[in-house]
A and B are shown apart, each in its own frame.
Chain A
Amino acid sequence: MSGVRKMKVNPLSVIAIMTVFGFGTLLYSQGVLSLDHRVAVMAQIDSTESESPFSLSNLIEQGSPYLGNPSAPITIIDFSDFQCHLCARYVKNTEPLINETYIQTGQVALVFKHLPNRGFDSMGAHLAAQCTDEQGKFWQFHKLLYENQQGIDSGWVNEDNLKKFASQIPGLDIERFNSCFDTQKYKEFVDRDVKLANSQGFFDTPNFIIVNSIDGSDPQIIRGAQPFPAFQSVIEQKLQR
Chain B
Amino acid sequence: MIMISIPLSMRVVFSIPTYILIAIVMAIPFWILFNVFDQLIFFEPIWIFYLSEDAITGFILTTIISILMGMLVSMNIYVIRHSSKLKISRASLFSGSSLSIISGVCSSCSSVGFLLISTFGTAGIIASNLLTIYQIPLRIVSLAILIFALYYIHKRIVQSCVIDTIQPRSIIITETLPRELRDTDLSMHIMFP
Interface residues of A (CB under 8 A from B): 1, 3-12, 14-15, 18-19, 22-23, 25-26, 29-31, 85-86, 89, 93, 117-120, 151-153, 203-204, 220-227, 229-230, 233-234
Contacts and interface: CB of A to CB of B under 8 A. Distances in A.
Given A7-B90, A11-B94, A86 B39 contact: yes
Interface size class of B (residues with CB under 8 A): 35 or more
B29 A11 contact: no
Contacts of B89: 3-5
Contact of B104 (A12, A15, A29, A234): A15
A89 to B, nearest CB: 5
B133 A151 contact: yes
Given A6-B84, A226-B42, A233-B46, A29 B129 contact: no
A99 B100 CA distance: 45
Given A4-B87, A25-B112, A15 B133 contact: no
A10 B37 CA distance: 28
A96 to B, nearest CB: 13
Given A7-B80, A225-B39, A93 B44 contact: no
Contacts of B98: 11, 14
A224 B118 contact: no
A120 B100 contact: no
A12 B76 contact: yes
B76 A11 contact: yes
B125 A120 contact: yes
Nearest to B100: A15
Interface of B: 29-30, 33, 36-37, 39, 42-46, 48, 50, 52, 54-55, 73, 76-77, 80, 83-84, 87-91, 93-94, 97-98, 100-101, 104-105, 108, 112, 115-116, 118-119, 125, 128-129, 132-133
Closest 10 CB pairs of A and B: A11-B97, A227-B50, A5-B90, A152-B129, A224-B39, A3-B89, A22-B33, A233-B46, A234-B45, A226-B42
A220 B45 contact: yes
A31 B33 contact: no
Contacts of A220: 45
Contacts of A118: 125, 128-129, 132
A40 B91 CA distance: 51
Contacts of A18: 101, 104-105, 108
A12 B105 contact: no
A218 to B, nearest CB: 13
Nearest to B38: A86
B54 A85 contact: yes
B80 A12 contact: yes
A233 B45 contact: yes
Contacts of B90: 5-8
Contacts of A233: 45-46
Interface hub of A93, A221, A222, A227 (most chain B Cβ within 10 A): A227
Contact of A19 (B29, B43, B132): B29
